[in-house]
Structure 1
């Protein structure tokens, strides 16, 4: 890491993890320029492969509510319509990432189990494995070594209503969520 002026919390040479929104970074070759509040030190007991999944596991609502909610002060429980709901206000930034790193170092939050890393061209295989519920850990798609396509063709026009997004005319969209165990047949749209 290289550090500019007025940056606190990280030093030159630190190993870091980051949650960088797509509209923040500026990049040149393999370097990324971003705000310091999107970066935190990498936990000492994880490798880079494990670290790539940490911020997103901890920042996703289900991951946060099911594993780390009890450690955050700004959490709340609500009773509505006969059910208890838990929620938290959480914006990923360096303070939260440092707190997550500390929880991992102190073994309060488990390191995600990464089952397999697939190359980008193996995405259909990874998707099929996930759809068939044959996963016991996280599947990672590695796009770092993949060349960028020289030309991206636009999707073909569609004159039918998409079964994936009713009310829209579009090509089908891949949903990475595995299907339910007892899926009902999809309704036919005429």
Structure 2
């Protein structure tokens, strides 16, 4: 029994680490595929754009005039941003969160032996945009197409008038939705997809009959996860949220439970056991909910709040990964005795996910949950709003709003 549990610990730890490495691969190694044929200069070459830039960690963002980036890879697109969301990750990356791993990824991408700076930083991990220019190897899009896109963490973000993206980071924007709606879903959907599909192994083929609990059901990742699971006809779906978010969560198809209620644990016990727990908040209640997972049913608790980036920022790559592994083992001991598994999940661009949500939005089977919109000039206020972590749905910047 001890040997079995120890081997399962190792398997799950390696799985989480390998997932992070695959995510790093997804946003970095493909950068080796640099253009072997020089890209022709396009009409925006040498032109200027506005972007919100952080030049020092913790310093205020400054609206800056800078050159429009040039396509340097045959599979890149230059996008003219029409709307972009603000995610919690943006608000902490401007303070340096993730700088160690992202700098290493940049080195790999650029085949550089010298360290590459995390600064200057431009936030924005997704957007809705119009294609301005395409690399010679791009086959799915052309100039003038409307797309929804995620932006990998090694790239300058979408809180600028123009942004570069890879072809596999883009999907067609449905004609029946606005740019604001299209900008709200790519990043959070890819994050939820990684947690559910890549880690928890739940998908359209096996979701029926499974019971899922989501902590943070009214947030961006939570609302995206609920809609993905409902599209796959999941058996039971329960989500914790505040009482004033009940209407939203119910409208998406999940049973809401007030995480502030004195009876919340009893309510969760009565709804369980669960096959999958998705933690979007890293709360004491989320950690306790191991107790309402199925016993020896291969149930899994997956969290999108991992210590990996924080630990590597503090201790470097080697010791940061070692520290994360120790935290993972400590977190996994108790649930493993009952055949309950724990894992971390990380955002990674996913073309299959983007095309799926594009179809769902086009068919009216998925919707963007917009909490508040801001103009491009109001972007710092949008950051401050998102940093409070109490939003219902997404905060989106409308570049056409004045």
Shorter-chain TM-score tier: 0.5 to 0.7
Residue equivalent to 2:379: 120
RMSD after superposition = 4.1
Task: State the Cα distance separating 1:96 from its structure 2 match.
Answer: 2.0
The one of 144, 148, 153 equivalent to 1:22 is 153
Instruction: Pick which of 59-68 and 95-104 moved more.
Output: 59-68
Structure 2 unpaired stretches of 5+: 1-130, 193-221, 233-273, 277-289, 303-344
Q: How does 1:88-167 map to 2 (within 5 A)?
A: 91-117=348-374, 119-123=378-382, 126=385, 137-140=393-396
Residue equivalent to 2:15: none
Q: Distance in 1 between matches of 2:162 and 2:370?
A: 28
Tell whether the 8 Å contact from 2:371 to 2:393 is kept in structure 1 after alignment.
Answer: yes
Tell whether the 8 Å contact from 1:65 to 1:87 is kept in structure 2 after alignment.
Answer: no
Structure 1 unpaired stretches of 5+: 146-190
Task: State the Cα distance separating 1:37 from its structure 2 match.
Answer: 0.6
Output one character per residue of 1:40-71: Cα deviation in whole Å (capped at 9) or x when no partner: 11121221122221212323433443110354
Residue equivalent to 1:48: 179
Task: State the Cα distance separating 1:97 from its structure 2 match.
Answer: 0.9
Q: Distance in 1 between matches of 2:372 and 2:156?
A: 30
**Structure 1 residues 25 and 37, CA gap change in structure 2 (3 angstroms):** farther
Tell whether the 8 Å contact from 2:223 to 2:393 is kept in structure 1 after alignment.
Answer: no
Flag the structure with more relative contact order, 1 or 2, with Cα contacts below 8 A and sequence separation at least 6. Answer: 2
Q: Distance in 1 between matches of 2:231 and 2:383?
A: 37
Output one character per residue of 1:108-152: Cα deviation in whole Å (capped at 9) or x when no partner: 112223433261343587369x66x6x65533357999xxxxxxx
Tell whether the 8 Å contact from 1:120 to 1:142 is kept in structure 2 after alignment.
Answer: no
Instruction: Pick which of 54-63 and 114-123 moved more.
Output: 114-123
**Structure 1 residues 98 and 22, CA gap change in structure 2 (3 angstroms):** same
Tell whether the 8 Å contact from 1:17 to 1:52 is kept in structure 2 after alignment.
Answer: yes
Tell whether the 8 Å contact from 2:157 to 2:163 is kept in structure 1 after alignment.
Answer: yes
Task: State the Cα distance separating 1:82 from its structure 2 match.
Answer: 4.3
Q: How does 1:31-70 map to 2 (within 5 A)?
A: 31-61=162-192, 62-70=222-230
The aligned length equals: 138
Tell whether the 8 Å contact from 2:147 to 2:171 is kept in structure 1 after alignment.
Answer: yes
**Alignment TM-score, normalising by the size of structure 2:** 0.28
Q: Distance in 2 between matches of 1:124 and 1:96?
A: 26
Instruction: Pick which of 35-44 and 113-122 moved more.
Output: 113-122
